[in-house]
Copies of this chain bind each other. A is one copy, B any other.
Amino acid sequence: MNSYNNDGIHVIPVKGIPEVAPNDDLAGMIASSIDLVDGDVIVVTQKIVSKAENRLVEIDPEIGHKPIVEQESVRVVRRRGDLIISETEHGFVCANAGIDLSNVESGQAALLPKFPDKSAKRIHDSLLHKHGVRVAVIISDTFGRPWRRGVTDVAIGCFGLSPIIDLRGTQDALGRELQVTEVALVDELAAAAELVMGKAEAIPVAVIRGVNPEWLGDKKGVVSEIVRSPEEDLFR
């Protein structure tokens, strides 16, 4: 396919990132915690992006977090007891519209970044212009899914790599055209990053080193490329 010498990838936890507060410089915090190299993919969890972008809201103890979930939703998909599965304005379908009550101060909730692809671009641009390193950036979050138990991390924003790798027209090892053609690269990278983060270990950033350079350099985002339009989604 290409001349990339596929020797494997390294998924590295970025340790030592301090608690993030509104207006903190995430790119600077990352760059001072690990030596980055060109071609790295930096996966940053939504929570610290939301904190840095001051997407924290107070929860009224009288009424709980449900009104916030409803306000952050454009469509409720399912309700069961306290759980609401809804679609956010970005088009993500997830529990509680992606608002997050863990790892934030009691009485607060962290909303999703308003424009997570732009959040990724800002970190990308700052790492390029202030720290001299050309990387790709993914903002990740933890979502459930139908039919399968357990949550996995997926991408909610990205910049600097192809969200989807389109293998249409390439041939399989026996020379036949591939049927399964579009791989959700950013979601697989987000899942790989989660393996070294761990929910309780407070490692909010991972670096994935050694990926195929052909995946890099794209300017497309998650919202335009990964979110399915209702017309093409078999499940609406």
- Residues on A facing B (Cβ under 8 Å): 1, 6-13, 78, 80, 83, 85, 91-93, 101-106, 142, 145-154, 163-164, 167, 170-174, 176-180, 182-185, 187-189, 191-192, 194-196, 198-203, 206, 211-212, 225-228, 232-236
Q: Interface of chain A, helix or strand or loop or mixed?
A: loop
For residue A228, which residues in chain B have a CB less than 8 angstroms away from its CB? 146-149
Distance in angstroms between the alpha carbons of A176 and B167 in the assembled complex? 44
> Looking across the interface, which residue of chain B has its beta carbon closest to that of A211?
B195
For residue A211, which residues in chain B have a CB less than 8 angstroms away from its CB? 195
A188 shortest CB reach to chain B, Å = 4
For residue A146, which residues in chain B have a CB less than 8 angstroms away from its CB? 93, 145-146, 228, 233-236
User: Do B103 and A173 have beta carbons less than 8 Å apart?
Assistant: yes
User: Do A200 and B226 have beta carbons less than 8 Å apart?
Assistant: no
Number of copies: 2
Distance in angstroms between the alpha carbons of A152 and B164 in the assembled complex? 10
A146-B234, A180-B199 known, 6 other contacts, Cβ within 8 Å: A101-B176, A103-B172, A152-B188, A172-B199, A173-B201, A189-B195
The residue from B148, B194, B200 contacting A171, defined by CB atoms under 8 A apart: B200
- With contacts A8-B13, A188-B191, A192-B192 taken as known, whether A150 is within 8 angstroms of B226 at the C-beta atoms is yes
Distance in angstroms between the alpha carbons of A154 and B11 in the assembled complex? 18
The residue from B91, B152, B173, B198 contacting A200, defined by CB atoms under 8 A apart: B173
For residue A206, which residues in chain B have a CB less than 8 angstroms away from its CB? 8
User: Do A184 and B8 have beta carbons less than 8 Å apart?
Assistant: no
User: Do B13 and A10 have beta carbons less than 8 Å apart?
Assistant: no
Give 27 A-B contacts (CB < 8 Å), ordered by A residue. Answer: A1-B200, A1-B201, A7-B13, A8-B206, A9-B10, A93-B146, A103-B174, A104-B174, A146-B236, A148-B187, A149-B226, A149-B228, A149-B232, A150-B163, A150-B185, A150-B187, A150-B226, A151-B184, A152-B183, A152-B191, A167-B199, A167-B200, A170-B200, A173-B200, A178-B200, A188-B191, A188-B192
For residue A172, which residues in chain B have a CB less than 8 angstroms away from its CB? 102-103, 199-200, 202
Distance in angstroms between the alpha carbons of A6 and B201 in the assembled complex? 10
> Looking across the interface, which residue of chain B has its beta carbon closest to that of A187?
B152
